[in-house]
Amino acid sequence: MSDKKNKTNLCMIGTGYVGLVSGACLAEMGNRVVCVDNNIEKIKMLNKGKMPIYEEGLEELVKRNVKAGRLFFASSIKEGMFHKGHRAEAVFIAVGTPPREDGSADLSAIEKVSQEIAENMTDYTVIVEKSTVPVETCLWIEKTVSRFNKRKIPFDVCSNPEFLREGVAIEDFLKPDRIVIGVPSKKAEFVLRKVYSSLSKYPMLVTDVKSSELIKHASNSFLSTKISFINAVANICEKTGANVEDVAKGMGLDKRIGPAFLKAGIGFGGFCFPKDLEAFYWLSKQKGYDFELLKNVKEINEGQKKWMTAKVEEELWNLEGKTVAFLGLAFKPLTDDMRFAPSIDIAETLKSKGAKIRAYDPVSMENAKKVIKGIYFAKDAYDCVKGADCVCLITEWNQFAQLDFSKVLKLVKHPILIDGRNLYNPSKMREMGFTYKSVGRP
């Protein structure tokens, strides 16, 4: 994968789920990358070879590239942009863009780093937005950089949205469906093509900066729409006795629809879909077009989280003093990310009704403890279900598919299983003696 001829000096600002994976992959592709973060603890950990996040294969990838002298860590943008005699030709911004109360994206970290980049440029620099941002953020970055660029160093602001999925992030980065770059000049395009030259067999779309910014928000909102659509269909299935799995299969065989993202469940979460959907909706209103479909997509998703609590109540009646076990907490398998995980709202609702919660997740326990208080964090899945009046499958981790259910049956107080991800076979579970409920399946 690494290609010495392709060596471009890069600085990656923000060493989170996107920045760290992107930085390590860009190094693997032959570039010399300095990953910067203002969280000193993260940089200290990385310099000791420890990963601040859970992502399959990341530790080996980071270690390999550090050893090869292609990947470095720094706690200041100044050091990242001029590192041991190497000046960064391109500076990527991969800081967080969290949602504000009103749904808009908080771009203050982008503004802050833009200023610092401006103050540390010494020669033509390509500034690349990798964070997910609303269309026209590039104009604000350009304005900010110009304001603090006292020495009038030439620069370009580009967009290069990231489409990786947590859990399979490295594979997504190194074998992408597409690379999108939005560039304002041929010079910037040349630099970004050089950065990505070792991925030349994958499709690259070169467009203007605003279109590139929009591609990311439109893509994530479309995927959220697909999930909410099938969840709405699942609700109709539940009311009519149809089976959402067969309906999704029948829909997905149509090439115009495709089978991906047609899995009914308790809704989407994570750091991307909920906030990008909100931010895109907010932006549409700002621009004088009410993209109301997106509001409905969000409402359907909120409804799915309520599905789980409604099912628990249907089975247990009053929740006061009852014990509910959560198998899984992260918003999806293979990640420790708890940001906007449906488990948070479900836990809060059940707790407010007096239920006691026992929970277990293979990797997100530490992050979960920071955002869900007053519940018991179990040692493993079997400890989790001990004495439970009802077991809820929240995240479809493979290890939950492999559970020994004869053991589970002996540990629970009542054999009630609410499957929020349609992980189990309904007839098998019922044959084993469970009262079993899943999403949109009879």
Ligand X SMILES: NC(=O)c1ccc[n+]([C@@H]2O[C@H](COP(=O)([O-])OP(=O)(O)OC[C@H]3O[C@@H](n4cnc5c(N)ncnc54)[C@H](O)[C@@H]3O)[C@@H](O)[C@H]2O)c1
Point out the residues that are catalytic.
272
Q: Pick the piece of the chain touching ligand X (CB under 6 A) from 93-101, 145-153, 255-263, 413-421.
A: 93-101
Q: Is 97 in the site for ligand X (CB under 6 A)?
A: yes
Question: Which two structure tokens, joined as six digits, stand for 265?
Answer: 């469940």
When the beta carbons of 173 and 424 are compared against ligand X, the nearer one is 173
Question: Which two structure tokens, joined as six digits, stand for 313?
Answer: 């109540």
Contact present, 14 and 39 (Cβ < 8 Å):
no
CA distance 263 to 366: 28
Q: Is 198 in the site for ligand X (CB under 6 A)?
A: no
Q: Is 336 in the site for ligand X (CB under 6 A)?
A: no
HEC assignment per residue over 17-76: HHHHHHHHHHHHCCCEEEEECCCHHHHHHHHCCCCCCCCCCHHHHHHHHHHCCCEEEECC
> Residue 309 contacts by C-beta under 8 Å, 6 or more apart in sequence?
346, 349, 350, 353
Q: Pick the piece of the chain touching ligand X (CB under 6 A) from 3-11, 92-100, 148-156, 204-212.
A: 92-100
Q: Is 19 in the site for ligand X (CB under 6 A)?
A: yes
Q: Which of these, 230, 402, 261, lies nearest to 327 by C-alpha position?
A: 402
Binds ligand X by CB under 6 A, chosen from 23, 30, 96, 426: 96
Q: Minimum Å distance from CB 162 to ligand X? A: 4
Q: Which of residues 34-53 bind ligand X (CB under 6 A)?
A: 36-39, 42
Contact present, 327 and 392 (Cβ < 8 Å):
yes
When the beta carbons of 361 and 419 are compared against ligand X, the nearer one is 361
Q: What is the DSSP string of 240-308?
A: HT--HHHHHHHHHTSTTT-STT---SS---SSSHHHHHHHHHHHHHHTT---HHHHHHHHHHHHHHHHH
When the beta carbons of 274 and 420 are compared against ligand X, the nearer one is 274
Q: Minimum Å distance from CB 113 to ligand X? A: 5
Q: Minimum Å distance from CB 395 to ligand X? A: 16
220: buried, middle or exposed (CB in 10 Å: 19+, 13-18, 0-12)? buried
The CB density around residue 24, as the number of other CB atoms within 10 Å, is 32
**φ and ψ at 254, to 5 degrees?**
-75, 120
In b/e form, how buried is each residue of 144-159, taking b as 16+ CB within 10 angstroms? Answer: bbeeebeeeeebbbbb
Q: Minimum Å distance from CB 124 to ligand X? A: 22
Q: Minimum Å distance from CB 337 to ligand X? A: 7
Q: Pick the piece of the chain touching ligand X (CB under 6 A) from 7-15, 81-89, 151-159, 233-241.
A: 7-15
When the beta carbons of 20 and 346 are compared against ligand X, the nearer one is 20
Q: Which of these, 380, 402, 396, lies nearest to 438 by C-alpha position?
A: 396
When the beta carbons of 132 and 221 are compared against ligand X, the nearer one is 132
Element (H, E) at 118: helix 108-120
Q: Minimum Å distance from CB 335 to ligand X? A: 8
Q: Minimum Å distance from CB 132 to ligand X? A: 4
Q: Is 131 in the site for ligand X (CB under 6 A)?
A: yes
When the beta carbons of 111 and 315 are compared against ligand X, the nearer one is 111
Binds ligand X by CB under 6 A, chosen from 11, 12, 18, 195: 18
Q: Pick the piece of the chain touching ligand X (CB under 6 A) from 59-67, 83-91, 94-102, 407-415.
A: 94-102
- Annotate each residue in 174-193 with x if it binds ligand X (CB under 6 A) or - if it does not, as one string: --------------------
Q: What is the DSSP string of 328-364?
A: --SSSTT----TT-HHHHHHHHHHHTT-EEEEE-SS-
Q: Minimum Å distance from CB 267 to ligand X? A: 17
**Which residue's CB atom is positioned nearest to ligand X?**
16
Q: Minimum Å distance from CB 95 to ligand X? A: 4
Q: Which of residues 262-321 bind ligand X (CB under 6 A)?
A: 271-272
Q: Which of residues 378-407 bind ligand X (CB under 6 A)?
A: none
When the beta carbons of 42 and 322 are compared against ligand X, the nearer one is 42
Q: Which of these, 436, 323, 333, 430, lies nearest to 385 by C-alpha position?
A: 323
In b/e form, how buried is each residue of 292-317, taking b as 16+ CB within 10 angstroms? Answer: eebbebbebbebbbebbbebbbebbe
Binds ligand X by CB under 6 A, chosen from 104, 132, 422, 438: 132
Contact present, 385 and 357 (Cβ < 8 Å):
no
- Annotate each residue in 140-179 with x if it binds ligand X (CB under 6 A) or - if it does not, as one string: ----------------------x-x-x-------------
Footprint of ligand X (CB under 6 A): 13-19, 36-39, 42, 94-97, 109, 112-113, 131-132, 162, 164, 166, 271-272
